[in-house]
């Protein structure tokens, strides 16, 4: 906030001395009532109307300009400080560095974050998601308890944990702590299929080779049915969920589901944020990274995934399913767009 000029301070103090209430003085001079009080107290204690010297360099932007910077970000006109820097230079003839802009945005509570990867949502996708969410907005937790969630996921030995950082001196020789080991060809990976329900982990399947409609039908006929039989679930009281992948919606799979009387939950395309099993996969991945033993082969990786999968806490599964009403409402609030999940 800019300091009140000395001549305006003198006017404020004179009005107070004449007996005007501080509120009336504030309204007349267009400053806050607290500012009027501070000016009068400052003169009483320091016998001067000059403001106290402010330490440091004055801010580059005024409060109004900083609010404009925030609007550039929140309105979607700009995504980064560099975008704003270019916009200010070309459109407003203001030469401000991106660092100055970042500090200004930080003062308003904005923080730089890596963009999260999300599936592309077309207008049609958004409409389908919104329609689906409105259809299921009144589903209770008891309704969601009946759903068997399923999906495939890929796990890698190395290379799936992203960029890592370290601190070192300039010219310092590389140490073990400065290196992220890699394996040629990425170290190997495996694809798995799994399912779960309210408080129960279902079968986990290692997929060898390419997953096609026939292999998927085989997984359903063996592993899905085995899971249903193991827990004694009544088919008429469950709903099976899978996404709209081509192998899931193939004629072969749809015919099998119909013949075996397995009810299927209708599902909008491009909606992994609505499937709680995505968070289950993330939990498995985190626990794999926390294991004390080194995973050095695909077979060891599979054994480790099985171990983690079978040890998943049922309470964690319940918490995942219990988020479904929130997920549905978030899609409605976003009008079918992206959500935090």
Q: How many angstroms separate the CA atoms of 219 and 240, rounded?
A: 14
Residue 240 predicted with pLDDT over 90: yes
- State if pTM tops 0.75: no
Q: What phi and psi, each to the nearest 5 degrees, are found at residue 201?
A: -85, 130
Q: What is the pLDDT of residue 183?
A: 47
Question: What is the mean pLDDT of the segment spanning 80-104?
Answer: 91
Q: What is the pLDDT of residue 54?
A: 67
Model confidence pLDDT, tens digit, residues 269-309: 999 999 999 999 999 999 998 888 888 889 999 999 999 99
Model confidence pLDDT, tens digit, residues 319-336: 999 999 999 999 999 999
Cβ-count burial 236-262 (b if 16+ within 10 Å, e if not): eebbbbbbeeebbebeebeebbeeeeb
Of the given ranges (137-141, 159-163, 193-197), which has the lowest mean pLDDT?
159-163
Cβ-count burial 38-59 (b if 16+ within 10 Å, e if not): ebbebbeeeeebeeeeeeeeee
Model confidence pLDDT, tens digit, residues 39-72: 888 888 888 888 777 677 778 898 889 999 999 9
């Amino acid at each position: 906030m800019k300091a009140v000029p000395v001549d305006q301070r003198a006017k404020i103090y004179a009005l107070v001395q004449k007996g005007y209430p501080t509120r009336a003085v504030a309204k007349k001079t267009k400053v806050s009532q607290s500012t009027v009080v501070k000016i009068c107290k400052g003169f009483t204690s320091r016998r001067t109307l000059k403001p106290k010297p402010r330490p440091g360099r004055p801010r580059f932007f005024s409060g109004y300009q900083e609010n404009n910077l925030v609007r550039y970000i929140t309105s979607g006109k700009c995504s980064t400080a560099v975008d704003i820097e270019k916009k200010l230079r070309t459109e407003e003839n203001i030469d401000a560095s991106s660092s100055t802009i970042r500090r200004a945005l930080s003062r308003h509570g904005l923080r730089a974050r890596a963009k999260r990867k999300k599936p592309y949502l077309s207008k049609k996708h958004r409409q389908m998601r919104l329609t689906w969410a409105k259809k299921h907005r009144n589903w209770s937790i008891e309704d969601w308890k009946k759903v068997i969630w399923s999906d495939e996921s890929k796990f890698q030995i190395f290379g799936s944990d992203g960029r890592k950082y370290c601190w070192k001196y300039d010219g310092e020789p590389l140490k073990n702590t400065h290196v992220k080991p890699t394996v040629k060809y990425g170290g190997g990976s495996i694809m798995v299929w799994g399912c779960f329900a309210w408080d129960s982990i279902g079968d986990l399947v290692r997929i060898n080779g390419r997953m096609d409609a026939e292999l998927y039908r085989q997984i359903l006929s063996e592993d899905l049915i085995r899971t249903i039989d193991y827990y004694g679930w009544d088919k008429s009281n469950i709903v099976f969920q899978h996404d709209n992948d081509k192998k899931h919606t193939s004629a072969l799979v749809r015919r099998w589901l119909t013949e075996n009387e397995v009810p299927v939950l209708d599902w909008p395309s491009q909606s992994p944020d609505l499937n709680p099993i995505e968070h289950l996969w993330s939990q498995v991945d985190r626990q794999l990274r926390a294991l004390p033993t080194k995973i050095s082969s695909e077979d060891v990786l599979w054994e480790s995934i099985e171990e983690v999968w079978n040890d998943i806490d049922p309470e964690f599964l319940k918490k995942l399913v219990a988020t479904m009403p929130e997920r549905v409402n978030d899609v409605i609030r976003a009008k079918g767009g992206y959500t935090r999940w």
